[in-house]
Amino acid sequence: MIAILKQHAASFDESWKRLGRQWQISSEQWLDEVRQAFDQQYWQPLEQQVGLTERELQKVVEVIEQAMVSLR
Amino acid sequence: MHGQVDVRTQALVDLRLALLIFRGHAGEQLRTISRLLQQFAMDLQRQEQISQEQVRQAQNFLHQLRRRNSDVETIQRAADQLRQAEDRLSKIRYHQREVIGAIQAYHKQAQRLNQYLEHEVPKATVFLSDKLTILDQYRATKGEVSDQSLGPSEQNSETVSPTPIYLEFIQFVTKMSWVSSVDWGGVFFVALLSRLTPQPETAADILVYYQLYIEYQPLLLSSIRSFLTRMIWVRSANWLDIFQTIIAIMSSLSWLVQMNIVHSPQLAEMFKNAPQLPEQIAQLADAHELDLEDKREDYKKRRQLPIRGDYQHEDISDPPTNHLRNNTKGAS
């Protein structure tokens, strides 16, 4: 089951990276103050929330792995 | 200049779609992860119950041996077994606390992200839609005037590729957006859906497209109907292109239906309840094509009569910036 959990965590990360790549491409074509407003108002908070979620998820995976090894 | 605005428009359209796809994917992944974590927690709880039972049995066994005055060695072995069972129970309880603590911390954060996906990401897409409208209006009103915000290196790159149909569709609805009685949100979504024409690569992509479709399908159909009914008298629009776009959108949805049948029996079952959109739209298109000439005559007559009925609040005789006659040609 831990493998499935890791798979979903990786899939979530891949979705995020795909959006990140699109943001990179779009922001290169969109060089004005509106882009900055979007960056500050929406992109940075989203980036922060996703980053925190991934970190917490990583911790859960580690704790579960430790438990599985210890209780084997 | 138009080439640069087109590039920027494309960048914003792509970003808006990527945000919507991420919202769908992430929501789905977070739900699945939550379910898996819940299973882990339940699994640990089961282990704790089993371990507790083992401790109880070991205690009973030791108690019986003592009552029967069994030999010291047997009692010692039973006491060791009880200690081992108690150690395991304590280890399980320790990990249970650790895992549940970590899961709770994760859930708290995942909820924050979910809230953000639910409430802020739609605002972000609306923000992008607004900017797209502004860009389009800029293109419509400024024409050949150079874009001062573009860098010097960008100003000469006038490699304008043929405009995709969906972009023309967006341009058209943007120019028509002063007509208040049309559900423009829905019509813009039609344009957005036309970006789904590239075939999705994975079952997860299909699921996202499907969710978008289910969410907006009633809006989509009513918007197309409203759009066609209200706009059919605009003679300068390239109706053939618009119908082709709508039919292309519907064909891609039909393709998704087939893919869903291949990938997911559950989704296929849900799709059984969805109307046969491509046929309906094709019929609608045929019907309106026949009506087009009549509507033109009707429009001519309306121009000579006082405004009434549905168009009472829509100043069709003097649309803002006179878009009707001039700018809808840009959509063709």
Per-residue pLDDT tens over the stretch B39-70: 999 999 999 999 999 999 999 999 999 999 88
Q: Report pLDDT digits (tens) over B147-161.
A: 333 332 333 333 333
Question: CA separation (Å) from B252 to B14, B197, B206, B243?
Answer: 18, 6, 11, 14
- Tens of pLDDT, residue by residue over B279-319, are 544 454 454 443 434 444 544 454 444 333 333 333 333 33
For residue B332, is pLDDT > 50? no
* B127 in contact with A, Cβ within 8 Å: yes
Q: Which residue has the higher pLDDT, B273 or A26?
A: A26
Please indicate whether residue B269 or residue B41 has the higher confidence score (pLDDT). Answer: B41
User: What mean pLDDT is predicted for residues B165-182?
Assistant: 51
To test the contact with chain A by mutation, choose from B30, B106, B128, B195 the residue with the greatest count of A C-beta atoms within 10 A, namely: B106
Q: How buried is residue B206: exposed, middle or buried, by Cβ count under 10 Å (0-12/13-18/19+)?
A: buried
**Token pair of B320, please?**
């803002």
Residue of B25, B133, B201, B207 to mutate when probing chain A, most A C-beta within 10 A: B25
SS3 label, residue B95:
helix
User: What pLDDT score does B311 carry?
Assistant: 32
Average pLDDT, chain B: 65
- Give residue-wise pLDDT tens across range B205-250: 555 555 555 555 555 566 666 666 666 666 656 666 666 666 655 5
Q: Which of B40, B51, B93, B97 has the most A C-beta neighbours within 10 Å, making it the best mutation to test the interface with A?
A: B40
Query: Encoding tokens for residue B173?
Result: 């609805």
Q: How far is A63 from chain B (nearest CA, A)?
A: 6
- Provide the chain B residues 35-64 that lie in CB contact (below 8 A) with chain A: 36-37, 39-40, 43-44, 47
3-state SS string over chain A? CHHHHHHHHHHHHHHHHHHHHHHHHHHHHCCCHHHHHHHHHHHHHHHHHHHHHHHHHHHHHHHHHHHHHHCC
Contact between B144 and B330 (Cβ < 8 Å): no
Query: CB–CB of B36 and A4 under 8 A?
Result: yes
How many residues in chain B?
332
Please tell me the distance in Å from B317's CA to the nearest CA on chain A: 35
Three-class SS state of B83: helix
CA distance A7 to chain B (A): 10
Which residues have CB under 8 Å from B164's CB, separation 6+?
none
B112 touches chain A (CB under 8 A): yes
| A41 Cα to chain B: minimum distance (Å) | 8
Least confident of A12-16, A47-51, B97-101, B266-270: B266-270
- The model's pTM is 0.54
Residue with tokens 């970003």: B15
Which among A26, A52, A57 is the nearest to B33, CB-wise?
A57
Confidence band, pLDDT 50/70/90 cuts, at residue A39: very high
Please indicate whether, in this complex, the C-beta atoms of B123 and A42 are within 8 angstroms of each other.
yes
**Residue A64 pLDDT exceeds 50:** yes
Residue B112: pLDDT over 80 = yes
Tell me, what's the pLDDT at B57? Answer: 96
Phi-psi region of B128 (alpha: psi -120 to 50; beta: other; left: phi over 0): alpha
Given an 8 Å threshold on Cβ–Cβ distance, is B30 in contact with A15?
A: no
